[in-house]
Copies of this chain bind each other. A is one copy, B any other.
Amino acid sequence: MKPSFIVRSWAAMIELEAPSTAVAAVAAKLRSLGIDAGRDLEPFLRLIKVKGVMRRGVELVRTEASKNSCIVLLEGVACWSRRTDDGRRQIFAFHYPGDFCDLNRYVLPQLANSARILAVTDCLIGTVQFEHIEEIIGRLPAVGLALWRATMLEASIFRETLHNSHRPALERVAHLLCEQLARREAIGLSDGIIPLTQIDIADATALSPVHMNRTVQELRKLGALSRNTRAIKVASRERLVEIGRFDGRYLNMPKLLANWKIRLDAWLA
């Protein structure tokens, strides 16, 4: 990620040289939440201030000055994590461009807890002031509902993760990778590469790195992941969906998933 477009100005995002992919990702996300592209989208985009690049591994700290704002991821991958009792890192969910990383703080600030937002890769982030959110919700109620939906979608992902987390390692990892693949495709990242280390995935599935590695090898052997690279690259989406018994409807992206083969069992029972 070249830092050429980093601007710390407080001017509006769309007036800046924020990468077009970032703007597109945020717009795609908002549209999927029901924001009217013609009327409400632009006013909201104008609230996003580009903050800058955060290096991989650092916490997306909220400085004292920006305590009353929340973070929008513009480029890269972040995660919502916490330390477990034994000092391990647990990853609740990954964030992709267009995601609001800590919108929960707007709704329940007193709950601000031990969770941390970490940059999993180098990240470009923006912020939105709480007061601006409050103002636009009052002015455009549809935006309020869209933000509510954004948090509900996150809850839906938590639920699915919870469901997934008590399944055997192979299915578990396959399912997680399916989700990441779908969410990346939803914002135009369709190269099939999932830019996470095996350790990242281990922390997100609560598997040991060792067993994670064996599981990845198994997925490669089964033809779901590519064998030609150290990176996590999906070789066969169908295979992965099948292994993970992935039913992506919890992600609220009907159009995208129309192209996917999806299990129907649970919905017909």
Residues of A within 8 A of B (CB): 82-85, 90, 92, 104, 107-108, 110-111, 113-115, 138, 141, 144-145, 148-149, 151-156, 158-159, 161-163, 165-167, 206, 245, 249-250, 252, 254, 265-267, 269
Contacts and interface: CB of A to CB of B under 8 A. Distances in A.
Nearest to A158: B158
A265 B151 CA distance: 27
A159 to B, nearest CB: 6
A166 B114 contact: no
A166 B254 contact: no
B111 A250 contact: yes
A110 B254 contact: yes
Contacts of A110: 252, 254
B252 A156 contact: no
Given A138-B141, A161-B162, A165-B166, A156 B269 contact: no
Contacts of A158: 155, 158-159, 162
Contacts of A162: 92, 158, 161-162, 165
A83 to B, nearest CB: 6
A154 B155 contact: yes
A218 B151 CA distance: 39
Contact of A155 (B104, B165, B206, B254): B104
A28 B260 CA distance: 45
A85 to B, nearest CB: 6
B149 A108 contact: yes
A166 B165 CA distance: 8
Nearest to A266: B114
15 contacts: A84-B166, A85-B167, A90-B163, A104-B152, A104-B155, A111-B152, A111-B249, A111-B250, A113-B250, A113-B266, A148-B148, A151-B151, A155-B155, A158-B158, A162-B162
A152 B102 CA distance: 12
Contacts of A138: 141
B267 A152 contact: no
Contacts of A84: 163, 166-167
Given A82-B163, A114-B269, A108 B151 contact: no
Contact of A252 (B92, B108, B206): B108
Nearest to A87: B269
A138 B144 CA distance: 11
A83 B265 CA distance: 10
A267 B83 CA distance: 10
A130 to B, nearest CB: 12
